[in-house]
């Protein structure tokens, strides 16, 4: 007599009952992880995303070569998708600090710290590198408000 003939599989309602406690703990765990990820600074989120992709083995070595090489390596479907994206209306903008008045340097550093999660040293280094992209992927209304504030304090900033 084989083992498969004597083994009785529990009915579906019993399986649901047994797995319901595991589902609750799984939901709690996922909610805890999501809350922890949302509490990270943008820089920490970026570092985490790189680490996560690396652990999953999803590193993309062709992207370091350049976008044209990546598109040609991926095939015509990716190139067509990139063309469609360019044609779509832009919804996310980058804020670029082009230059600033020397007298307003401290004000510019303080303002950069208000809309980024950078410390004083990092904000100062970033401002001194002008022209530099201060923030990427900002919605239009928020980006325009930030650019207006920077212009008000004596800096020249643009949306890209």
Q: What does the pLDDT profile of the chain (160 residues) look like in tens digits?
A: 444 455 555 555 544 555 555 556 888 888 888 888 888 888 888 888 888 788 877 766 544 444 444 444 445 555 556 655 554 567 788 889 898 888 888 999 988 898 888 889 998 998 888 789 888 888 888 888 988 999 999 888 888 8
97 and 48 inside one domain: no
* Residue 47 in domain: yes
- The pTM for the full model equals 0.44
Regarding whether 99 and 52 lie in a shared domain, the answer is no
As a three-state string, the secondary structure of 61-127 is HHHHCCHHHHHHHHCHHHHHHHHHHHHCCCCEEEEEEEEECHHHHHHHHHHHHHHCCCCHHHHHHHH
Mark whether 49 and 100 lie in a shared domain.
no
Which residue range forms the structural domain that includes residue 52? 12-56
């Amino acid at each position: 007599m084989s083992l498969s003939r004597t083994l009785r599989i529990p009915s579906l309602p019993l399986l649901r009952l047994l797995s319901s406690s595991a589902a609750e703990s799984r939901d709690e765990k996922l909610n805890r992880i999501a809350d922890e990820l949302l509490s990270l600074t943008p820089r920490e989120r970026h570092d985490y995303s790189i680490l996560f992709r690396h652990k999953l083995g999803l590193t993309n070595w062709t992207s370091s070569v350049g976008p044209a090489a990546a598109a040609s390596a991926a095939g015509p479907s990716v190139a067509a998708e990139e063309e469609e994206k360019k044609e779509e209306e832009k919804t996310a903008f980058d804020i670029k600090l082009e230059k600033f008045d020397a007298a307003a340097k401290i004000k510019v550093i303080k303002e950069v710290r208000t809309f980024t999660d950078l410390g004083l040293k990092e904000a100062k280094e970033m401002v001194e590198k002008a022209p530099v992209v201060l923030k990427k992927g900002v919605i239009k209304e928020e980006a325009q408000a930030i650019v207006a504030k920077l212009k008000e304090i004596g800096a020249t900033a643009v949306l890209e």
